[in-house]
A = this chain, B = another copy of it.
Amino acid sequence: MSEPHATLAEEAAKLDAADELRAKRAEFVLDDSDSDSDSDSDNSDNNDNDNNDSDADDAGDGTVYLDGNSLGALPAAVPARLADVIGREWGRLRIRSWEESGWWTAPERIGDRIGRLVGAAPGQVVVGDSTSVNVFKAVVGAVRIAQARAAGGEEPRDGTRAESQEGTRAEPRDEILVDESTFPTDGYIAESAARMTGCTLRPVPAPDIAAAVGPRTAVALVNHVDYRTGRLHDLPGTTAAVHAAGALVVWDLCHSAGALPVGLDAHGVDLAVGCTYKYLNGGPGSPAYLYVARAHQPRFDSPLPGWNSHADPFGMAPAYAPADGARRGRVGTPDILSMLALEAALEVWDGVSPDAVRAKSLALTDFFLRCVEAYVPAGRVESVTPAAHQERGSQVALRCADAGEVMAELIRRGVVGDFRRPDILRFGFTPLYTGFADVERAARVLAAVLAEAPGEVA
């Protein structure tokens, strides 16, 4: 197998040399052998580092980090920014920082930054709470919009008439669809949302949701990219089908935002949620976000109407009156440290084209699949990630019966992916900092591990 090794390693070097995003790698703290000593430096060092990337990035003696789809690597700008937030903004200005340091408006300000990455115009995304909490807000909020619309005989956004206008009495909108292979928390929270709004919950495979949506469907909750298989679902087509049935759709963007263009506004998505600690590199448990399309905002009726979402929060009025716009999606006091770390982390996206990210992501996963095919004995692993580009996110999932042991050994050898029970090896490819040499090395080490522990696919 020495021939393909050399060939693919050479190809990796060429791909890295031609990569228009490769300078971005220096904006992250990674285990490259040339950057260990200056990892705490800030962005001002980037230009210097760019000049010698070729010396060491390909050396392959650090860690290959392919778990950015679980926890993104540390952007180099974060440590200094957080030190300032803690030492000066909290430590010196203290309470004044809510205004003077822009803490109070951070959820909307950072939301707009994320909006640019998922195709949402300003004023529709707000940051805060966990993904799970945002799923609850989004699904309950969507059910209420669908039910209010059905009850009022109003027209849905796309101009089709609600059933009640067709001459027969409309059925109640009391069904929530959820994609069957959803990340579990979405299903658990959707079940709670269904229970608390008098709806039923029906799991349906994501590709079948367009066909399953019916006159009783209020909302469909769908993951844009499947967390296990890395399969990219059809956001434009599913959204259109859900709308045609008079229902709303909530997209979970956890595994797509920052890895590929989403186009929320362009495709008329109703609501969406996502986390920020995967491809957006916001840090462990960094706050999630909620998108409510502008057209729905006046009727977005949050099940968590905390004081931060009040029209006049410092009026401290006993009666609730919702704020206009994205702020209506806020709940309580935002977690400023985690939130401002996220804001600093998002600076790496300045000047980055989502299309360039998508192109590199597909090139990385294509190359990984080729390397695996070249290096790993046939039949030892099976890719459960779709081969077709239009159905692939930014990860590759390989199935093998001994996946748990294999991943543990891979991590010991410096190739970090993760294991999803019972038999999935997950490798995430973050276009901003993953190089083709990383990919080749990961496949090479994987092949070595698999060769030493012969096993079978599932």
Q: How far is the CB of A351 from chain B (nearest CB, A)?
A: 23
A189 within 8 A of B: yes
A410 within 8 A of B: no
Which B residue's beta carbon lies closest to that of A191? B320
> Please, which residues of chain B bring their CB within 8 A of the CB of A197?
196
Complex alpha-carbon distance, A288 and B265, angstroms: 34
Which B residue's beta carbon lies closest to that of A411? B96
A207 within 8 A of B: no
> Please, which residues of chain B bring their CB within 8 A of the CB of A302?
192
> Please, which residues of chain B bring their CB within 8 A of the CB of A183?
307, 316
> What is the 8 Å Cβ interface bit string for chain A, positions 318-331, against chain B (1 contact, 0 not)?
10100000000001
**Structural contact, A336 and B284, CB atoms closer than 8 A:** yes
Which residues 322-349 of A have a CB within 8 angstroms of B? 331-339, 341
Partner of A336, one of B136, B185, B285: B285
> What is the 8 Å Cβ interface bit string for chain A, positions 287-308, against chain B (1 contact, 0 not)?
1100000000000001111111
Please judge, given known A-B contacts A94-B67, A333-B285, whether A304 and B87 are in contact too, CB under 8 Å.
Answer: no
A65 within 8 A of B: yes
Complex alpha-carbon distance, A188 and B303, angstroms: 10
**Structural contact, B86 and A275, CB atoms closer than 8 A:** no
**Structural contact, B91 and A306, CB atoms closer than 8 A:** no
A279 within 8 A of B: no
**Structural contact, B188 and A284, CB atoms closer than 8 A:** no
**Structural contact, A305 and B335, CB atoms closer than 8 A:** no
Partner of A315, one of B67, B73, B187, B421: B421
Please judge, given known A-B contacts A285-B334, A304-B136, A318-B203, whether A74 and B95 are in contact too, CB under 8 Å.
Answer: no
Which B residue's beta carbon lies closest to that of A72? B94
In the A-B complex, the 6 residue pairs with the smallest Cβ-Cβ separation, listed nearest first, are A130-B332, A132-B306, A132-B332, A284-B336, A185-B307, A74-B91
Known: A73-B94, A188-B310. 11 other contacts (CB 8 A): A94-B416, A129-B129, A132-B304, A133-B331, A185-B306, A188-B305, A188-B320, A284-B333, A284-B337, A285-B333, A286-B337
